[in-house]
Chains A and B, each alone.
Chain A
Amino acid sequence: MTPVSSKQYTDDVSLLVVLIDTNPLFWSSSAVPLSFSKFLSQVISFLNSILLLNQLNQVMVIATGLNSCGYVYDSSSGSTNHRVETLLQKLEEFVVKDEELNKDDSADEIGSSLLSGSLSMALCYIQRVFRSGSLHPQPRILCMHGSQDGPGQYVAIMNSIFSAQRSMVPIDSCVIGSQHSAFLQQASYITGGVYLKPQQLDGLFQYLTTVFATDLHSRSFLQLPKPTGVDFRASCFCHKNTIDMGYICSVCLSIFCKHHKKCSTCGSAFGQPQTSVPTSSQKRKALNLN
């Protein structure tokens, strides 16, 4: 482990971790106006331009699959001559491996990619770079995500977001899919990154270079797209409606749009103090969630 004092602290050297969504179901769906090969060609060009911006810049690519995640490319290792080739080869290997892991053959709906896994891997990698090597680059994560949010990953993703926030790593999001991603909106909002959903997907390269290419130091001088609003409103558990005001279980914080006698999530009875627990009588509270 290199002592901190011998490290080179620079404000214009970036460590960019790019998470590429390799969800086969997403890319094969007809709703995406961009083929995966065109997407890759634009992303690879973008990665090349990042590496050209500063010779100390470092790029890491992590593939986010349906069943697994994997490191696909690391600019700090391997020869500089056959970047694209190595990337593509690794990516193909990853896809094969991901397919092997797939057991469920039913493809009636597009599954969600393992965003939480790739986010965690990105954060782990960044921590490793921090603790080893002579450079201390400015890290950031760029999520190129297309498939929809997996609600089951909610907790894992939120945890990754908060650890990214703690280690001051901004998460930029570039949403390729047709829907906005609530997870990535929150991720970018909390970590101070940029959230963008390009309208013209054939000009993806232009979006990437304009919005996501600048290092963190330069960002303070630029006007980058701001989200017009992040939807923090919660949905009630009973009817799944998005609500402004509602009732919250004082025990498990479940949200309801109207008064229930009993919390459907944790089973606490409202409105009657439990005899065994005099201090935590469950009261329902009307709370403004905005």
Chain B
Amino acid sequence: MTDAQVVKRVKCKSSVKDPGVRGILKMTRERFVFMPNDPSSSIKHNVEFRLIKGHKSSKEGSNRPALLNLTHDQGNYIFEFENFPDRELCRDFVAKAITSSGEAGGPTSEKTVPHKDEQLSSAEMERRIKLLQEDSELQKLHKQFVIGGVLSETEFWATRKKLLDVNDSRRAKQRVGLKSDMIFNVKPSSDGQSNRVTFNLTPEMIHQIFAEKPAVRQAYINFVPNKMSEKDFWTKYWRAQYLHSTKNIIAAAAEAAEDEELGVFLRQDAILASEIRQKIRKVDPTLDMNADEGDDYTHIPGHGLANNEDVKDELEAQYEPYKRSFLQDINRHAAVVLEGRTIDAETRDTRSVAEALASLKRVELAKEASDDNAHQESLDRVTRMAEIEDLQAPRDPPVAPLCIKDPRDYFNSQQVNALNQLPGTIQVESRLSTSEAYGSLRAYISEIRTVGLSDPIVRPVVAFKVFNSLTQSISSSKYQLGKNPHESILDTLPSVTKDELLLHWTSIQELLKHFWSSYPITTSSLYAKVSRLKDAMSQIYPKLQEIKESARSDSRHQVSLLVQPMVQALDAAFTHYEQDQQKRYAKSVEKPNGYA
């Protein structure tokens, strides 16, 4: 386990200004030990955490030392870490150790570490740390806002409850299922001398027996402890099992006739049978069993385990209820295992297990019985699937005829639109009639027939102009659009700018999320939070401006396009803040007037 012990290289200081002694800090759950690198040095510490009253830590900054101050009755222990992550780790560890040592450290330090004021369980803490480690983006945000003091730990995680919950539920979901072993595989152990067979029974097995054999469960509820003791009950049960294992149906029938209670175990399970009947009723009636015949092995001679019927064909019908095939057992067992553990395995008491299972079944049955709709639905399904087409009324598809009055309405609208868009370019009205126009067209054709093609076709100056304009438009469109239409503008920017933009975007989102969620402001703490958030947001403005200015001139336009929505989002928040502020102010002025 990683958090059972933490070992870091530190400098131990007597005060903040002290250069300190280099050494190794080792933290376990109960105590921390400082061993200096120089064995001759006199500064050695071995202190139990329960003596530690509290801890402080320096603010994070690039050129500041990573300090951790542990407050003790007689003084302080100041450790300087090599880097902040190490410090964070140790601080978290200390926080946990102090809380777990049972000593209420009390908020002695004014800069109380956020972890402390929540009194989190260590499991909760671990989960959060794990989440932070898994998601570097989350870690960045956490560092920026929680450690930067903008948000408190609780606030930060409050919006991410889901993340924590998901992990939680994932943990709780995993439950131990039933064993896939079958009970009758339990080999009886006999001591060889006496004619006695011993079965070992565990609560686990009892649970499984009850789950698989409702009749046994019912019998247990009925008989124990009124009619017989628990021990007798199980003796009878195993006796019945033993009889089964001998496969002597006639003997079983005889025993059952003698002993009514024993007969319960030997006869076929009535509750089970009714359940099976229920299931068969629920089978889709349109299921074609013939189609599955190819998959069925039982018709192949010598296949399957249930072919001993022919051997015992001569057995009379009176033994029928005592027959139980191996396959039935397997199927029942498989069904129970797949169903999973329906009740808590913790229940040790045999009777309560039996009752719990029984009540569960009852609830299920009641549910099914009340579900009349399902029954109706299945009936509908039958009629639908097995309908006789000749007898059905002709069914027209439900169609509403589409009636478009005049398509020209649409197309003419486009025309008007085009004209509206280009008001300056509406062509000068031709003053010629159609016939005159045709005449002029013919005149043009005859003109070219007599004159011939113009020579030169294009004047070089014009051709040059054409080339210039074409080249310009091609190069500019190529530059602006990029070769690949799927390429986003972000990818064309240098990676530093891209990362910075993305980071700002996520942090703005985080801040705004908290900002808007704290409205309407009802408590003073919310008010303080909003003003804190506002300050943090106002710090982003110059950063965005910086990004804009640092961008290369050719990508500046793109960057400003990207930055714009961020600024707009922030602006909206600020406008709201100011309006709210004004309203508050107005209210505070109004109130005394109103009362006066």
Q: Is the CB of B445 within 8 A of A235?
A: no
Contact of A276 among B398, B404, B444, B445 (CB under 8 A): B398
Contacts of A40 in B (CB 8 A): 444-445, 448
Given contacts A228-B477, A240-B420, contact A27 B470 (CB under 8 A): no
Contacts of B417 in A (CB 8 A): 235, 240-242
Contacts of B412 in A (CB 8 A): 151-152
Q: CA separation between A267 and B404, bound complex, in Å?
A: 8
Contacts of A52 in B (CB 8 A): none
Q: CA separation between A152 and B411, bound complex, in Å?
A: 6
Contacts of A241 in B (CB 8 A): 417
Given contacts A199-B469, A242-B421, A277-B400, contact A27 B413 (CB under 8 A): no
Q: Is the CB of A27 within 8 A of B440?
A: yes
Interface centre among B436, B445, B462, by most A CB within 10 Å?
B445
Contact of B454 among A38, A179, A211 (CB under 8 A): A38
CB A195 to nearest CB in B, in angstroms, measures 12
Contact of B462 among A206, A235, A251, A280 (CB under 8 A): A206
Contact of B463 among A88, A148, A203 (CB under 8 A): A203
Q: Which residues between 253 and 279 of chain B lie within 8 Å of chain A, taking CB atoms?
A: none
Q: CA separation between A108 and B364, bound complex, in Å?
A: 83
B461: nearest chain-A partner, CB-CB: A203
Q: CA separation between A241 and B425, bound complex, in Å?
A: 18
Q: Mark B365-403, 1 if CB is under 8 A from A, else 0.
A: 000000000000000000000000000000000111011
B451: nearest chain-A partner, CB-CB: A37
Q: Is the CB of A226 within 8 A of B474?
A: yes
Q: Mark B494-517, 1 if CB is under 8 A from A, else 0.
A: 000000000000000000000000
Contacts of A4 in B (CB 8 A): none
Q: Is the CB of A24 within 8 A of B403?
A: no
Contact of A226 among B425, B445, B478 (CB under 8 A): B478
Given contacts A199-B469, A211-B470, A278-B398, contact A95 B429 (CB under 8 A): no
CB A252 to nearest CB in B, in angstroms, measures 6
Interface size of A in residues (CB-CB distance below 8 Å): 81
Contacts of A148 in B (CB 8 A): 415, 418
Q: CA separation between A146 and B430, bound complex, in Å?
A: 15
Contacts of A85 in B (CB 8 A): 449
Given contacts A200-B469, A237-B410, contact A27 B418 (CB under 8 A): no
Q: Which residues between 426 and 475 of chain B lie within 8 Å of chain A, taking CB atoms?
A: 427-430, 432-438, 440-442, 444-449, 451-454, 457-459, 462-463, 465-467, 469-470, 473-474
Q: Is the CB of A42 within 8 A of B458?
A: yes
Contacts of B470 in A (CB 8 A): 207, 210-211, 225
Q: Is the CB of B474 within 8 A of A225?
A: yes
Chain A contact residues: over half helix, strand or loop, or mixed? loop
A254: nearest chain-B partner, CB-CB: B410
Q: Which residues between 21 and 74 of chain A lie within 8 Å of chain B, taking CB atoms?
A: 22, 24-25, 27-31, 35-38, 40-42, 44-45, 66
In the assembled complex, A279 has its CB within 8 A of some CB on chain B: yes
Q: Is the CB of A24 within 8 A of B413?
A: no
CB A53 to nearest CB in B, in angstroms, measures 16
Q: CA separation between A154 and B449, bound complex, in Å?
A: 36
Q: Which residues between 133 and 152 of chain A lie within 8 Å of chain B, taking CB atoms?
A: 148-149, 151-152
Q: Give the interface of A toward B (CB within 8 A).
A: 22, 24-25, 27-31, 35-38, 40-42, 44-45, 66, 84-85, 88-89, 91-92, 95-96, 98-99, 102, 104-110, 148-149, 151-152, 154-155, 177-179, 182, 198-200, 202-207, 210-211, 223-226, 228, 235, 237, 240-242, 251-252, 254, 264-268, 274, 276-280
Known contacts A149-B415, A206-B462; 7 further A-B pairs (Cβ under 8 A):
A40-B445, A40-B448, A107-B434, A151-B408, A154-B411, A205-B457, A228-B481
A-B contact pairs, 9 of them (CB 8 A): A24-B438, A25-B430, A25-B437, A30-B430, A105-B434, A148-B418, A206-B462, A276-B400, A277-B399
